Amino acid sequence: MRVGLTLLTALAIAAVSAPLAALYLGHDPFLPDLFKRFEAPSALHPLGTDELGRDTLLRLLYGARVSLTVGLIAALAATSIGTAIGLIAAWRGGFWDAVLMRVADGLLALPALPLLVILAALDPAVVGLPRGEATSDMIRIAVLLAAFGWVGVARLVRATALSVLAQDFVRAARAMGVSEVRVLTRHVLPQLAAPIAIATALAVGGAVLAESVLSFLGLGIAPPAPSWGNMLANAQELVFQAPLAAVWPGLAILFTVLGCNLLADGVSRRPVR
């Protein structure tokens, strides 16, 4: 877990410090400079330049901001929705439990990416967001990923909540006259902290990966806004001129997902208090 936390903290710091790095190095990551295409790594450009002469390291750091933001928002939304649905399903039981779990199973049985590809091609102007801006792209992708990500969280939360609700202290609280809402929020929810933390960590990794895939396919964050996925898509076209350009964004995605998985692993191994 410590390795995971270290990795993720390093990435978060790198992402947050992107404008500082831009100031330090003195380049603009959005400004093309066609005289400096495909430069080798040097003191001025630590990772070289890309096909339009923009500094690769800075684009990587700005891409970190985009990818990590989308991943975090999508994961938090998915976790909130999933926790609410899992809790309701476990608490109500019976008909609502069956309906919600049938919906979850249905979503789980479908192949996610073909659906996401079709949904991602939706015109954001339909829901009132401006087309072509990075922010609307980010919101659109976060909503899509949350719409698929809640299922795993919901099943995990429902399983744990069922076992917690059957315990004696809940019965005691109800017998003492505690209202159902208080029972759920003050007694059941704290016990769900561990599964929710694990599910969130895994959801962040999954969301970052999914956003990269969508951007790679051209359906996520559109250039010139940098995202690790669309940097990889560029690199695919340049395998002859700049083979190393494919290494860095992929390595960044790998470290993010690895950090999230290690974190989730570590949390799941901690002894339950």
Binding site for other proteins (CB under 8 A): 106, 108-115, 117-119, 121-123, 125-126, 205, 209, 212-213, 216-219, 232, 235-236, 239-240, 243, 246-247, 249-250, 253-254, 257-258, 261-262
Locate all alpha helices (DSSP H) within the chain, ordered by sequence.
Answer: 2-16, 18-25, 56-92, 94-109, 112-120, 134-165, 168-175, 180-182, 193-216, 228-237, 247-269
d(CA 235, CA 242): 7
Report whether 165 contacts 90 (CB < 8 A): yes
Our CB check for other proteins shows the closer of 52 and 246 to be 246
Measured from the CB of residue 208, what is the shortest distance to other proteins in angstroms? 9
Our CB check for other proteins shows the closer of 87 and 154 to be 154
Report whether 159 contacts 225 (CB < 8 A): no
Our CB check for other proteins shows the closer of 63 and 249 to be 249
Report whether 153 contacts 82 (CB < 8 A): yes
Report whether 79 contacts 198 (CB < 8 A): no
Joined tokens for residue 12: 């978060």
Question: Which residue from 188, 187, 199, 166 is spatially nearest to 268, judged by alpha carbons?
Answer: 199
Measured from the CB of residue 19, what is the shortest distance to other proteins in angstroms? 26
Measured from the CB of residue 233, what is the shortest distance to other proteins in angstroms? 9
Measured from the CB of residue 141, what is the shortest distance to other proteins in angstroms? 15
Measured from the CB of residue 64, what is the shortest distance to other proteins in angstroms? 15
d(CA 239, CA 233): 11
Measured from the CB of residue 120, what is the shortest distance to other proteins in angstroms? 8
Our CB check for other proteins shows the closer of 34 and 109 to be 109
Report whether 260 contacts 201 (CB < 8 A): yes
